Amino acid sequence: MSGSLVLVATPIGNLGDISQRAHEVLAVADLIACEDSRHSGRLVKHLGIADPRYVVVNEHTEREATKRIVETISSGNTVALITDAGTPAISDPGAVVVRAVIDAGLAVSAVPGPAALVMALVLSGFSTTRFVFEGFLPRSGSDRERRLADIAAEERTVIFYESPGRITRTLTDLAVTCGDQRRIAVARELTKMHEDVWRGTLGDAAAHFAANPPRGEFVVVVDGAAPTPAADEELIARVVDESLATGLSVRDAADRAARTLGVARRAAYRVALSRRAARDTP
């Protein structure tokens, strides 16, 4: 017997985006793993697939559902894993299933297709050579502050998902953290009738969405930060001198310069030694 898990990408809005191969896999699958059988049922019905068998995988059911999936595959059956929209296992409970199936030594394959993050990226007009996906940002607390700070310093294009209830607050926070002139593209309702991509600066984006109540699910694309200029020895020396003047040791002054300027600690320590020697010379 040779069972397997097949990750099947499904449309993110327009049912016409389903691929022929995705249709074929869903039609022959012994079991369809999904987030919501009612939601996925509309797609399956649209495809004309009769008598589908579902297992629901979400944050409440993933443990038992994953066990059932592994057992089903181990018995030689095919399980098709889908998500509500797009490619499964990306910011999705399906990732737990994939890991469990791999750990069980069973086969995993995929049928590629729609992914909202990729569509938003290519529509943004920003660099696609290097980019990073942040999933959903934390809602509050220090984790959110750290993630916003990471985005502010990130030189690669940044993509993340956001809900309509939090998009305005997130854009406002980003404008403060990244500066209101940082470029951004905000995509919503991709592939649907009311598809829209707003492009501009973070400051203008925060004002626009505060004045226009947001609707739909959002994909946010933030242009990468400008490269930080390399700190020269004169700048390192200035930071070191300030630290030494407050009574910090050479080691601590070097550590502070390295953290503040993003330079190698060895280089900062070398400068700190020379500055202390200059201070100690009559």
pTM of the full structure: 0.79
pLDDT surpassing 70 at residue 1: no
* pLDDT level of residue 229 (50, 70, 90 thresholds): low
Judging by beta carbons within 10 Å of its beta carbon (0-12, 13-18, 19+), is residue 29 exposed, middle or buried?
buried
- CB of 151 within 8 A of CB of 177? yes
pLDDT tens digits along 267-276: 888 899 988 8
- The CA-based angle 26-31-36, given to 5 degrees, is 85
pLDDT of residue 257: 85
pLDDT tens digits along 122-177: 999 999 999 999 999 999 888 999 899 889 889 999 999 999 999 999 999 999 98
* pLDDT level of residue 278 (50, 70, 90 thresholds): confident
pLDDT of residue 235: 87
Return the DSSP state at 48: T
Three-state DSSP class for residue 199: strand
